[in-house]
């Protein structure tokens, strides 16, 4: 799945740690045995009612099939999310597909999206070679996890 271009690169080790430590809130998708999508997410330690979506990746052959939305719902219906009432993620201002994904999820959950700047551009100055967009926190919720599970069953 190297054709995802828009994601910040991370080491194989980072993904192994996510898989090891956060498998209850992360998911992969395959089509005909080929990996075409993944979501890495975790419950916030100080806020057990919030699941934070770190990355969503869908390869070209998985796009246009509602795969990302189905993976998000797969995470929300798991026992690890039974007490979750909010989903957080950060999205850059130019990432319109991700904005549409999470706004659409909020509509399907019949709830709201609150958007605030979490990390301003200047905070990334010492870490990136090029200018980094601000990271906008999208907070979706509140929603009732039981209603989400019921709607999916």
Residue 76, pLDDT above cutoff 70: yes
Tens of pLDDT along 9-26?
677 888 788 888 899 999
* pLDDT, average across residues 51-66: 90
Residue 152, pLDDT above cutoff 60: no
Q: How do the domains of the chain map onto residue ranges?
A: 12-152
Cα→Cα distances 153→79, 94, 113, Å: 14, 35, 24
Architecture in CATH of 12-152 = 3-Layer(aba) Sandwich (3.40)
Sheet containing 135-140: order of strands? 27-31, 34-44, 47-58, 86-91, 135-140, 113-119
pLDDT grade for 1, boundaries at 50, 70 and 90: very low
* Average model confidence (pLDDT) across the chain: 87
Tens of pLDDT along 83-138?
999 999 999 999 999 999 999 999 999 999 999 999 988 887 765 566 788 999 99
Residue % of the chain over a pLDDT of 90: 61
pLDDT of residue 132: 80
CB-based contacts of 96, cutoff 8 Å, min separation 6: none
Q: Which two tokens stand for residue 80?
A: 């690890």
The residue ranking higher by pLDDT, 48 or 4, is: 48
């Amino acid at each position: 799945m190297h054709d995802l271009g828009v994601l910040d690169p991370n080491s194989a080790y980072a993904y192994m740690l996510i898989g090891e430590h956060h498998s209850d809130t992360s998911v992969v998708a395959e089509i005909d045995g080929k990996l075409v999508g993944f979501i890495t997410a975790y419950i916030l330690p100080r806020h057990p009612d919030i699941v934070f979506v770190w990355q969503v990746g869908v390869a070209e052959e998985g796009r246009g099939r509602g795969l990302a939305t189905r993976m998000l719902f797969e995470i929300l219906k798991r026992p690890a999310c039974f007490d979750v009432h909010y989903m957080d993620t950060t999205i850059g201002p130019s990432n319109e597909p991700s904005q549409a994904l999470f706004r659409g999820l909020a509509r399907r959950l019949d709830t709201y999206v609150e958007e605030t700047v979490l990390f301003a551009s200047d905070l990334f100055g010492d870490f990136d070679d090029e200018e980094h967009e601000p990271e906008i926190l999208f907070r979706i919720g509140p929603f009732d996890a039981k209603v989400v599970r019921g709607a999916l069953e």
